[in-house]
């Protein structure tokens, strides 16, 4: 497995990480615990050293799962987790608004250390920017945790370029995590140029468009009620039918390279910058191995131009999130 540094930091991780959210949360019922532990350990055996979780996933149970699975590899893998949600088991999906008050950040850190069974959190992201707490206070709270040896690196998720700059001026930001793929390219406008300038790594989540870019989802796919995609505008049957053009494009490129659409979508991300580390999620070993195969695919400049030129001409149908969730995204 190839390795990459997240920006100018000395945090070295595998070129592809593993997003663990779907093992416990958001994509239908929680999966079998023993199977998910075996999957994470199989990922380690295949060279994956970067795992992504959050206290909000479950809530709490995903961190506990990741902590148990990766405890034998302590010191050999990098675990990223997150703070910033106000959690309430009675609320929809357990999320009851944002809370990044410094005292709350420190409480979350202590609890995450216990659930993850580690002595320090490798990468601690603010899950969503809290408009009620100055980002300087957030960065200062994480800086305190770094000085105490409880956190190693600071990250932000779905943060705007201006927010990233303000945070970075207080406590250097190691990585920014945002949705990024061939069908969600907004980070290219302002965020990625800022990351390049500041030397910050970029961790795309949903790099396969929540599964759509794999080519395994079409207008006839049925999602369970507790699958988050069932409420996403981009995943209505009409939108899925319209958006098949992008999957067909990936399929054509893939056929010429003996690859799959998912591998081409991930290879395109890897080719964008050496400080980009996608974290596709999966709950199946065959999908994990398929995703890891993307690391060995070489896209020439001509390949990338063809993909980007064709993709830019394809209109994408549907918003990525419902309006009430999109409002939580920093601008």
Residue 26 belongs to some domain of the structure: yes
Cβ 283 vs Cβ 39: under 8 Å:
yes
Residue 18 belongs to some domain of the structure: yes
Residue 236 belongs to some domain of the structure: no
- Alpha-carbon distance values, 309 to 186, 218, 237, 294, 314 (Å): 16, 24, 26, 21, 9
Q: How many domains does the chain have?
A: 1
CA dist 154 and 176 (Å) reads 9
Residue 218 belongs to some domain of the structure: no
Residue 101 belongs to some domain of the structure: yes
Residue 78 belongs to some domain of the structure: yes
Domain that includes residue 118, residue range? 3-210+273-297
CA dist 30 and 36 (Å) reads 10
pLDDT in tens, the chain (331 residues): 999 999 999 999 999 999 999 999 888 889 999 999 999 999 999 999 999 999 999 999 999 999 999 999 999 999 999 999 999 877 777 787 899 999 999 999 999 999 999 999 999 999 999 999 999 999 999 999 999 999 999 999 999 999 999 999 999 999 999 999 999 999 999 999 999 999 999 999 999 999 999 989 999 999 988 888 988 999 999 999 999 999 999 999 999 999 999 999 999 999 999 999 999 999 999 999 999 999 999 998 989 998 988 888 888 899 998 887 777 788 7
Residue 116's domain is classified under what CATH number? 3.20.20.100
Residue 239 belongs to some domain of the structure: no
Residue 75 CB partners (closer than 8 Å, separation 6+): none
Residue 201 belongs to some domain of the structure: yes
CA dist 60 and 111 (Å) reads 9
57 flagged as catalytic: yes
- The single residue of 27, 57, 60, 125 carrying the catalytic annotation is 57
Cβ 57 vs Cβ 281: under 8 Å:
no
Helix 191-198 × helix 161-170 angle, to 10°: 20
């Amino acid at each position: 497995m190839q390795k990459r540094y997240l920006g100018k930091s000395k945090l070295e991780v595998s070129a592809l990480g593993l997003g663990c959210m779907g093992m416990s949360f958001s994509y239908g019922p929680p999966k079998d615990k023993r199977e998910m532990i075996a999957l994470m350990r199989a990922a380690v055996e295949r060279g994956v050293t970067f795992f992504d979780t959050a206290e909000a996933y479950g809530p709490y149970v995903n961190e506990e799962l990741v902590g148990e699975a990766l405890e034998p590899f302590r010191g050999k893998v990098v675990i990223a987790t997150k703070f910033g949600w106000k959690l309430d088991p009675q609320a929809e999906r357990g999320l009851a608004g944002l809370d990044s008050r410094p005292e709350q950040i420190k409480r979350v850190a202590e609890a995450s250390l216990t659930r993850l069974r580690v002595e320090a959190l490798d990468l601690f992201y603010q899950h969503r920017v809290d408009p009620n707490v100055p980002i300087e206070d957030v960065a200062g709270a994480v800086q305190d945790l770094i000085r105490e040896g409880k956190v190693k690196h600071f990250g932000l998720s779905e943060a705007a370029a201006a927010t990233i700059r303000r945070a970075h001026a207080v406590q250097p930001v190691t990585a920014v995590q945002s949705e990024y793929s061939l069908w969600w390219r907004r980070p290219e406008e302002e965020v990625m140029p800022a990351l390049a300038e500041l030397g910050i790594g970029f961790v795309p989540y949903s790099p396969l468009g929540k599964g759509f870019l794999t080519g395994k989802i079409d207008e006839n796919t049925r999602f369970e009620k507790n699958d988050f995609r069932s409420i996403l505008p981009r995943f209505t049957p009409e939108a899925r039918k319209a958006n098949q053009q992008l999957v067909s494009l990936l399929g054509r490129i893939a056929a010429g390279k003996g690859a799959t659409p998912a591998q081409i979508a991930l290879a395109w991300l890897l080719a964008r910058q050496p400080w980009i580390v996608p974290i596709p999620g999966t709950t199946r070993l065959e999908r994990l191995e398929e995703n890891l195969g993307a690391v060995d695919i070489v896209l020439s400049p001509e390949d990338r131009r063809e993909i980007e030129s064709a993709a830019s001409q394809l209109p994408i149908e549907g918003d990525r999130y419902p309006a009430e969730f999109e409002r939580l995204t920093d601008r």
